[in-house]
Amino acid sequence: MINEPKISIIIPTFNQGEFIEETIISILNQTYKNFEIIIIDGGSKDNTIEIIKKYEKDVKYWISEKDNGQSNAINKGSKLATGEIVTWLNSDDYYELNTLQIVKDAFVNNPEISIFHGKTRLFGKKIKNKTIGLKKDLSLHEYLPYMRFPQPSSFLKKELLNSASMVNEDLHYAMDFELISKAILLGAKIKRLDDLLSNYRLHENSKSNHDLKFLEEWTIVAYNILHSLGANTLVKRLEELVLVKSVKVNHFMATISFSDDAIEAIFLEHLNLHYHYNYRLSNYEICDKISKYLMNNYTAFYHTNNYNKYDFRRKFIPKFVFKIVRKLNN
């Protein structure tokens, strides 16, 4: 990695004129200046183009045309990126002032690392600000049950977009998870940063409002990870638990191997994710199926993760109480 690597920032956008100026300004105001901005607009009908033109001299490339969604826009931008480091930032989010300096230093000081990720602040109207991101380092296999860190605060070497391919345009919620997972299976090293790097805006049109769509696509990716690692028995368990609907099998190339315990941990943590998502949404039939399976087959995991406590709550506390609690927490 050279001492002053260029950072390519792709902004996929569609009808985000209300927010995109703040996104662009947050990049232009960065203390580290060796970056390029690539804006891929899906044919906005609001004031997005007017705002882009306002900053046109500071943008390497922009286009506005009908596309097939965010993943398609990211791939268009990736093909145009000339930086050694690449990321995408949605047009309703923005960076902290020193984000690119922190990221540049991380890559220069750790040339063996291909992916860095930090923390993100969630904010929005009538939303309690909350910082998310990993608080401890993970082993490689622990990144594979689902997306473990906020994408707006992640950056990767451009070479990964060649070795791990572009993002999957059939995915609209888990394309980042699949890209990172394929890179890890091909031997990419990943590292956590403690720094707050980005701010993620929650609003009525945020993709984050669609929890089950994220869960469904994360399951598709996890299914294909287990399939690619040869964990056929665990793949069948996912199918039997009705966590996998019609999935197109996609075999990922892998140049690293994991122990049987690590592969089993990927499977169990994905089940754990399903249980808690559906628990919050009061989908108790799915919770009951997962809980019984874990109690009968992975008793230690069942007790270590306090499933008995959650099972008691969902059986004896009315659903409307959970709904009230969730509303108060939001």
User: 171: domain CATH number?
Assistant: 3.90.550.10
Q: Do 43 and 125 reside in the same domain of the chain?
A: yes
User: For residues 250 and 153, which has the higher predicted lDDT (pLDDT)?
Assistant: 153
Q: Which of 206, 234, 264 is the last residue of a domain?
A: 206
Q: Do 178 and 315 reside in the same domain of the chain?
A: no
Q: Do 95 and 216 reside in the same domain of the chain?
A: no
Q: Which of 206, 224, 243 is the last residue of a domain?
A: 206
Reported confidence tier of residue 250, pLDDT bands at 50, 70, 90: confident
Task: Report the C-alpha gap between 196 and 224 in whole angstroms.
Answer: 32
Q: Is the pLDDT of residue 328 over 60?
A: no
Range in 106-115, 157-166, 202-211 the model is least confident about: 202-211
Q: 190-201 and 94-95 as β-strands: parallel, antiparallel, unpaired? A: antiparallel
Reported confidence tier of residue 267, pLDDT bands at 50, 70, 90: very high
Q: Residues 130-144: pLDDT tens digits?
A: 999 999 999 999 999
Q: Do 26 and 162 reside in the same domain of the chain?
A: yes
Q: Do 217 and 187 reside in the same domain of the chain?
A: no
Q: 85-88 and 7-13 as β-strands: parallel, antiparallel, unpaired? A: parallel
Q: Do 183 and 56 reside in the same domain of the chain?
A: yes
Q: Is the pLDDT of residue 117 over 60?
A: yes
Task: Report the C-alpha gap between 135 and 277 in whole angstroms.
Answer: 21
Amino acid at 304: T
Q: Which of 176, 206, 236 is the last residue of a domain?
A: 206
Q: Residues 49-93: pLDDT tens digits?
A: 999 999 999 999 999 999 989 999 999 999 999 999 999 999 999
Q: Do 219 and 316 reside in the same domain of the chain?
A: yes
Prediction pTM value: 0.91
Compute the mean pLDDT over every residue in the chain, rounded to the nearest whole number. 91
Q: Do 86 and 194 reside in the same domain of the chain?
A: yes
The total number of structural domains that make up the chain: 2
Q: Which of 228, 230, 241 lies closest to 270, judged by CA?
A: 241
Is residue 91 domain-resident? Answer: yes
Is residue 306 domain-resident? Answer: yes
Note down the domain range covering 118.
7-206
Q: Do 135 and 263 reside in the same domain of the chain?
A: no
Q: Is the pLDDT of residue 327 over 80?
A: no
Q: Is the pLDDT of residue 203 over 70?
A: yes
For 327, other C-beta atoms within 10 Å of its C-beta total 8
Range in 124-128, 138-142, 304-308, 313-317 the model is least confident about: 313-317
